[in-house]
């Protein structure tokens, strides 16, 4: 019986894995250079962690189960909540701000489609402990730098939810939440219907529709025309001034909402070219979750990068790490093992494991694209040397192992 992989999952073959690891390593180096430290949380968590954050409605999207102790568990669907839980459990005494990052697989039970899988990888950042626009600006600038470094051209849209929340503050909190979700989905017909249902004041309805349609360089000025001078607009302007200092290109978009109650101020989304309709590769903002999980009134700012979507459009060439191939005769196989041991301290090496003849070994090396082979025969062993062959030019040199190492590592 043939067993296939579960629906919505993928196998990554060597070339795919090589490229994914290479891009991952670049992203890791960027966040390290910005002073962020890696954390790892469990693959499964208590179900309550995510229902507290997103409501009972999320259960239908989860791989949830009861363990042998009859406890409600789930595979993690995202990593912000686990990191906030970890902070409350383990890190409240740490000096702030905390600058954390993670790269892990997540799971959602949803219909697989292009760019969406039931197992997917998320690279994220959480900056915990600062209410200042400085923190928000750094997090946004870091997200754009990460994408730029791996060759992804992204369109950054940024907003401050404090502005729209100020306008909606006369409504009930549940009404505000539904409006934010409708704005996030860009369901303007549904928004208009709901505003009628709750008998929202006509002035509020007009200002809301005008506000969420504002985009572009003059959006801040127009927002002041609609709402007057607000501290939230001042905060937004401060953020934009800092992004200018970072050299970040952005579009002001008062229609970006993120649709979740815990987002408090700055929100942003980045859309990448070449992905079609599902083109969002990054989303984040400032939020309050720590209090919800039993901690203090501690602010956070963060984002999640959709690593799988990044890989769909990333065109980086991975470094060439084709191994040096050692070709030996049956009588010199042990000498080949000793040579390989020494070479592997400096470079990838392939030693024949099939007892092929000389010609077959050379053919194998050629087929795998090896740039160099080391030939170890009786004459080479007697001379305590090896024959280094350049597969492109055909040039051969009789060298010691140390000379081979120096020659190949210098290149």
Is 356 flagged in the annotation as binding? no
Is 215 flagged in the annotation as binding? no
Is 101 flagged in the annotation as binding? no
Nearest to 318 by CA among 13, 16, 19: 19
Is 333 flagged in the annotation as binding? no
Contacts of 376 (CB under 8 A, 6+ apart): 326, 327, 328, 329, 332, 335, 336, 339, 386, 387
Is 122 flagged in the annotation as binding? yes
Is 108 flagged in the annotation as binding? yes
Q: Is 226 exposed, middle or buried, given 0-12, 13-18 or 19+ CB atoms closer than 10 A?
A: middle
> Given the structure tokens 């899988």, which residue do they identify?
117
Is 258 flagged in the annotation as binding? yes
Is 156 flagged in the annotation as binding? no
**Which tokens hold the place of 175?**
């009404």
Contacts of 167 (CB under 8 A, 6+ apart): 204, 207, 208, 211, 227
Is 92 flagged in the annotation as binding? no
Determine if residue 70 is left, alpha or beta; phi over 0 gives left, psi from -120 to 50 gives alpha, anything else beta.
left
Q: Determine contact, residues 141/130, Cβ cutoff 8 Å.
A: no
- Report the SS3 class of residue 201: coil
Angle at 47 between CA 41 and CA 52, to 5 degrees: 95
Dihedral angle of Cα 317, 345, 33, 86, to the nearest 10 degrees: 110
Known binding-site residues for L-histidine equal: 78-80, 108, 122, 126, 258, 262-263
Known binding-site residues equal: 78-80, 108, 122, 126, 258, 262-263
């Amino acid at each position: 019986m043939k067993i296939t992989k579960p629906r919505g999952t993928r196998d990554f073959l060597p070339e795919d894995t090589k490229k994914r690891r290479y891009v991952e390593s670049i992203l890791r180096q960027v966040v390290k250079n910005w002073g962020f430290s890696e954390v790892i949380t469990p693959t499964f968590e208590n179900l309550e962690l995510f229902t507290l954050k997103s409501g009972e409605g999320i259960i239908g999207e989860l791989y949830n189960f009861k363990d042998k102790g009859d406890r409600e568990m789930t595979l993690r669907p995202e990593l912000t909540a686990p990191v906030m839980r970890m902070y409350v459990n383990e890190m409240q005494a740490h000096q702030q701000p905390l600058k954390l990052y993670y790269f892990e697989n997540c799971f959602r039970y949803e219909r697989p489609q292009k760019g969406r899988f039931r197992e997917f990888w998320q690279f994220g950042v959480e900056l915990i402990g600062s209410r200042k626009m400085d923190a928000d600006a750094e997090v946004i600038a870091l997200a754009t730098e990460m994408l730029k470094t791996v060759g992804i051209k992204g369109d950054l849209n940024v907003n401050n939810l404090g502005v729209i929340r100020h306008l909606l503050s006369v409504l009930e909190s549940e009404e505000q939440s539904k409006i934010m979700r409708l704005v996030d989905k860009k369901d303007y017909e549904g928004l208009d219907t709901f505003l009628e249902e709750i008998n929202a004041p006509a002035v509020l309805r007009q200002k809301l529709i005008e506000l969420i349609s504002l985009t572009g360089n003059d959006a801040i000025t127009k927002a002041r025309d609609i709402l007057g001078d607000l501290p939230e607009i001042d905060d937004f302007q401060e953020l934009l001034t800092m992004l200018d200092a970072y050299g970040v290109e952005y579009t002001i978009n008062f229609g970006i909402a993120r649709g979740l109650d815990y987002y408090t101020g700055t929100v942003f989304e980045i859309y990448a070219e070449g992905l079609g309709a599902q083109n969002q590769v990054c989303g984040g903002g400032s939020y309050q979750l720590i209090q919800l999980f039993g901690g203090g009134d501690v602010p956070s700012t963060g984002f999640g990068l959709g690593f799988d979507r990044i890989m769909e459009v990333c065109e980086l060439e991975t470094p060439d790490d084709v191994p040096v191939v050692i070709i030996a005769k049956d009588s010199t196989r042990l000498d080949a093992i000793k040579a390989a041991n020494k070479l592997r301290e400096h470079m990838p090496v392939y030693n024949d494991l099939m007892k092929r003849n000389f010609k077959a070994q050379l053919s194998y090396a050629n087929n795998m694209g090896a740039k160099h082979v080391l030939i170890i025969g009786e004459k080479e062993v007697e001379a305590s040397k090896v024959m280094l062959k350049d597969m492109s030019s055909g040039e051969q040199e009789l060298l010691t192992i140390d000379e081979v190492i120096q020659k190949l590592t210098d290149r």
